[in-house]
């Protein structure tokens, strides 16, 4: 099996084939309230998980208006542009481990949670030896279920390893994540379908602790309603960055070219859940008003990709669904108008970017392919954003002079030409009327 592949076979993308002996269907959606169980109810883990619990769940207090302060009605909700807020990385590793209620604020560094702590330390120590930049996130795990404690899911590889323990961490990291090979004690299972992760890390940030569980419950209901239980998985996960954008959602699955992509969404509300399922998963269309970015793209490339989609759609919404998504994402700002988010701020929905159509999606994925080919030349300059962050050593792509000309000057020239033609036509009509 080729471990680093980010593609799936032709018949996988649309049909969600039944699992084989080495293939696993999406994680069955767990009980909607499973992350509200107390410590005694989730302490059945064995091996390296025994007696390592930490009761770090969200305790809102009796008189606190949770939604108004931390939920979807909080004052800072939808106040900051989303696009370009995903740090560059190329591979996402999820460790299934316990339950959000018992995750401490920084589970990867918790003394009593050996497995995530040792895995995080091993990834950090071998970072320079890895061919791809890796992000580690914890997701919910339950012994005796499809997602047991110690299971490891890797994207875009779309594979799962079973029952990693703290004794195996160094060998696993060396063989799978450094050498891109196989971990011999375990047999990798090919994953099928779509995987959705929702940040529910309440001990890390209360906004995620309030918004996340509500979104998981809504995803549960919609998945059940539309008969997608064996095709779409949803799981609570730990901190992924950008708590101020809660609800935060990451979706992994095939694009129009049957390649596995990982898209991040922010400011997701329960009303947006059906839109994400119908459009992102059902039609392979990016929902731009909620889009934060994508695995494999730098911050600048995320902004550029969205700008290309906006230009392709003429800067206007072309469907009722897109308008509905915009309304949900931005809220009403007067009759017949609502505020929508773009890479440069907020615009009226009537003049804002639509969520991409099938054609726009194809263009975006083609741009991603070109991005890979241009990586060496594009990443010779350090981005302005990373300089402001403290001079990070990671290099990210910058638009070349030619691309700036294509995107800005060409359109400006066309606008001037169009204006001249319009004036000439109007003058001609005026002369004829006289």
Q: What is the pLDDT of residues 300-312, one digit of tens each?
A: 999 999 999 989 8
- Maximum CA pair distance of the chain? 93
Residues 6+ apart with CB under 8 A from 276: 249, 251, 265, 268, 287, 290
pLDDT digits (tens, 9 = 90+) for 12-27: 433 333 333 345 556 4
Contact 73, 211 (CB under 8 A): no
Sheet arrangement for strand 291-294? 23-24, 189-191, 159-161, 152-155, 91-96, 134-139, 232-237, 194-199, 249-254, 260-265, 291-294
Please report which helix (H) or strand (E) contains residue 197, including its range: strand 194-199
What per-residue confidence (pLDDT) applies to 22?
A: 40
Query: What beta strand segments (E) does 277-324 contain?
Result: 291-294
What per-residue confidence (pLDDT) applies to 70?
A: 96
Dihedral pair phi/psi, residue 270, rounded to 5°: -55, -30
Burial (CB count <10 Å: 0-12, 13-18, 19+), residue 258? middle
Please report which helix (H) or strand (E) contains residue 88, including its range: none
pLDDT digits (tens, 9 = 90+) for 147-170: 899 999 999 999 999 999 999 999
Give the bridge partners for 235, in sequence order.
197
Number of neighbouring beta carbons within 10 Å of residue 19? 16
> Smallest Cα–Cα separation from 119: which of 138, 101, 146?
138
What per-residue confidence (pLDDT) applies to 315?
A: 65
Number of neighbouring beta carbons within 10 Å of residue 333? 13
pLDDT digits (tens, 9 = 90+) for 32-51: 333 333 333 322 333 333 33
What per-residue confidence (pLDDT) applies to 201?
A: 98
What are the 10-residue block averages of pLDDT along the chain, 434 residues in total? 42 34 47 34 32 39 74 96 98 96 92 94 97 97 85 97 95 96 89 97 97 97 94 97 97 96 98 97 96 98 95 60 45 41 39 44 53 46 44 40 49 76 78 72
- Distance (Å) of CA 345 to CA 78, 311, 339, 342, 398: 11, 16, 10, 5, 20
What per-residue confidence (pLDDT) applies to 434?
A: 62
What per-residue confidence (pLDDT) applies to 88?
A: 98
DSSP string covering 108-176, please?
GG-TT-HHHHHHHHHHHHTGGG-SS-EEEEEE---TTSSS-TT-EEEETTTEEE----TTSHHHHIIII
pLDDT digits (tens, 9 = 90+) for 210-240: 999 999 999 999 999 999 999 999 999 999 9
pLDDT digits (tens, 9 = 90+) for 102-126: 999 999 888 889 999 999 999 999 9
Share of the chain above pLDDT 70, in %: 62
């Amino acid at each position: 099996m080729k471990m680093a592949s980010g593609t799936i076979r032709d018949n996988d993308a649309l049909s969600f084939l039944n699992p084989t002996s080495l293939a696993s269907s999406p994680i069955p959606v767990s009980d909607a309230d499973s992350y509200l169980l107390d410590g005694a109810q989730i302490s059945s883990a064995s091996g390296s998980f025994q007696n390592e619990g930490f009761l770090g769940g969200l305790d809102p207090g009796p008189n606190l208006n949770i939604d108004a302060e931390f939920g979807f009605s909080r004052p800072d909700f939808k106040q900051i542009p989303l696009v370009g807020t995903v740090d560059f990385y190329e591979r996402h590793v999820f460790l299934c481990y316990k339950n959000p209620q018992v995750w401490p604020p920084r589970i990867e560094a918790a003394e009593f949670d050996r497995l995530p702590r040792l895995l995080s330390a091993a990834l950090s120590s071998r970072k320079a030896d890895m061919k791809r930049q890796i992000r580690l996130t914890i997701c919910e795990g339950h012994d005796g279920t499809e997602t047991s404690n110690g299971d490891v899911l890797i994207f875009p590889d779309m594979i799962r390893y079973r029952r990693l323990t703290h004794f195996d961490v160094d060998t696993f990291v060396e063989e799978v994540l450094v050498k891109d090979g196989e971990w011999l004690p375990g047999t990798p299972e090919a994953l099928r379908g779509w995987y959705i992760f929702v940040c529910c890390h309440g001990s890390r940030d209360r906004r995620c602790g309030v918004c996340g569980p509500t979104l998981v419950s809504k995803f549960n209901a919609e998945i059940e309603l539309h008969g997608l239980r064996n095709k779409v998985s949803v799981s609570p996960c730990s901190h992924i960055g950008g708590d101020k954008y809660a609800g935060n959602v990451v979706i992994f699955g095939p694009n129009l070219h049957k390649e596995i992509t990982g898209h991040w969404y922010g400011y997701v509300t329960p009303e947006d859940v059906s839109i994400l399922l119908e459009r992102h998963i059902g039609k392979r269309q990016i929902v731009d008003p909620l889009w934060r970015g994508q695995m494999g793209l730098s911050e600048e490339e995320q902004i550029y990709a969205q700008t290309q989609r906006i230009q392709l759609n003429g800067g206007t919404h072309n469907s009722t669904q897109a308008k509905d998504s915009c309304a949900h994402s931005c809220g009403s700002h007067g009759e017949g108008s609502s505020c929508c988010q773009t890479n440069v701020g907020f615009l009226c929905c009537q003049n804002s970017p639509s969520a991409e159509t099938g054609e726009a999606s194809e263009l975006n994925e083609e741009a991603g392919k070109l991005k890979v080919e241009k990586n060496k030349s594009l990443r010779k300059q350090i981005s302005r954003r990373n300089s402001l962050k403290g001079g990070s050593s990671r290099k990210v792509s910058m638009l070349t002079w030619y691309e700036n000309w294509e995107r800005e000057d060409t359109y400006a020239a066309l606008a001037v030409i169009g204006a001249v033609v319009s004036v000439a036509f109007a003058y001609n009509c005026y002369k004829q009327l006289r």
